[in-house]
Chains A and B, each alone.
Chain A
Amino acid sequence: MKRHLNLTVNSEPRQILVEPYYSLLDMLRDELHLTGTKKGCDEGDCGACTVLLNGVPVTSCLVLAHSAHDAEVTTVEGLATREGLHPVQQAFAEYGGLQCGFCTPGLIMSAVGLLEKNFDPTEEEVRYAIGGNLCRCTGYTKVVQAIMAAAEQARP
């Protein structure tokens, strides 16, 4: 039976009716219609479903929706502001960090998660941080360039 779940999604407090067996990913896509977060494998392997849960990147297909009660969730839809794109989004666009775009929301959330922890990453650290994100198009070179550029821009 569906039950109420209270949590904050992209800075907005929400109360949602969710099945007990739903994943956070299915809840975001099916109940909140936040379809920016992608379902690639539903097995934790591809990283397309990456969101920030209480500030850290997680594969939302591996999280039970009800376990996220009272949590803060940030999806790719929560990054842009009235002023424009998030610096990481902007850099992906400028550096050609995407082709088909399916992996992009996940990669961007992993990058945002990295930069919150480490605003001056080496290229090796960037590659390690996106080790859990698969991209079948770009070959990662431009993805890494974009994240390095975003980091540089974000540095005080």
Chain B
Amino acid sequence: MARFEYLEAHTVRQALSMYRRHAPNVRYVAGSTDFLIRSRMGNWNPEYVVNIQHIPALQRTSFSRRNGLRLGALTTVQTLQDHESVQTHYPALAAAAASFAGVQVRNLATVGGNICNASPAGDTLPALLAFNAQCLSTGPEQGEQRSTALDEFFTGPGRTVLEPGELLTEIRLPRPEPNTGSLYIKHSPRGAMDIATVGVASAVTLAADRRTCKDVRIGLGAVAPTPIRAYAAEGILRGNEITPESLAACAEEARNTASPIDDVRGSAVYRKEIVGVLTLRTLERAVEMARDGTMAFETQRRLAVQAAF
């Protein structure tokens, strides 16, 4: 059994100073769902863990039409799934949460942990990218704060821009635009408790004529060293009329943007193919939602996982 000392912080400042005191043989833990696995596998062997789970300032979640959504880093994945404002205004994020593990892990896993763990297959990440999430963090030395676009947050598999000891505190999603729809679809071998072979989130905003694409953002998971935005694909649709042809062209470009690898869950060729399919499906559903208002959460949940078996 991996051994370590346990420290618990109750404020951000306390967490930073505990980390400083024991650096570099120290690691933060939040829900500990990634940490305990890696620790038991022998990949992570800190002498000290600083548990940040009981810091009230990181637990707050709020929504307003003016300021959008603010998620404390400790917001659990289950809260994302159940939160009415997330279901209503950021449906792709609620769908992503619904596709995530099982309820026992969702009740522990935090959104901050999903971001900091920086897995290319992290399920909340394509949706957060599609909503232009901003990451607020507090630096380890003077407690200086900075805000980084999620799009610039990941530097490689398991790597982020955070300095050692820097704490992710809050994730901000801009206010929802009217006439917007969004969906995340995860493709994996099993329908529950599996890691994404490919995950795609699309958010579409229609112009007042309800035919022109005013804005579109597409996040891709598990098809590159980090979760990525499909910028070139978005460019094909933005400002143009939504037609079966324009949607297909956009999906085809997303397919070309993906640079996946072969692994046990699927070959690179297969993954690229699936990116095209899921991009088209998420776009079509997003357009439907943007036109007709909402889609029942039960329906979204059903759509969110498309398993091979």
- Whether A139 is near chain B, meaning CB under 8 Å from some CB there, is no
Bin the interface of chain B by size. 20 to 34
Given the known interface contacts A42-B40, A62-B32, the answer about A67 and B51 at a Cβ–Cβ threshold of 8 Å is yes
A37 at the interface (CB under 8 A from B): no
Contact call B8/A66, Cβ cutoff below 8 A: yes
User: 0/1 per residue, B2-19, Cβ < 8 Å to A?
Assistant: 111110100000000000
CB distance from A115 to the nearest CB of B (A): 13
A residues in contact with B3, CB < 8 Å = 19-21
User: Chain B: which residue is nearest A44 at the CB level?
Assistant: B105
Q: Whole-angstrom distance from the CB of B303 to the nearest CB of chain A?
A: 13
Name the A residues within 8 Å of B192 (CB-CB): 128, 131-132
- Cβ-defined contact, A23 with B36, below 8 A: yes
Contact count band on A? 20 to 34
B7 nearest CB neighbor, chain A only: A20
Known: A43-B37, A67-B51. A132 touches B6 (CB 8 A): no
Instruction: Find chain B residues with CB under 8 A from A42 CB.
Output: 40
Provide the residues of chain A in CB contact with B178, threshold 8 Å.
none
Residues of B within 8 Å of A20, CB to CB, are: 3-6
In the complex, whether A57 has a CB less than 8 A from a CB of chain B is yes
Interface residues of A (CB under 8 A from B): 3, 19-21, 23, 42-45, 47, 50, 53, 56-59, 61-64, 66-67, 110, 113-114, 128-129, 131-133
Which residues in B have some Cβ–Cβ distance to A below 8 Å? 1-6, 8, 29, 31-33, 36-37, 40, 49, 51, 53-54, 78, 101-105, 107-108, 191-193, 301
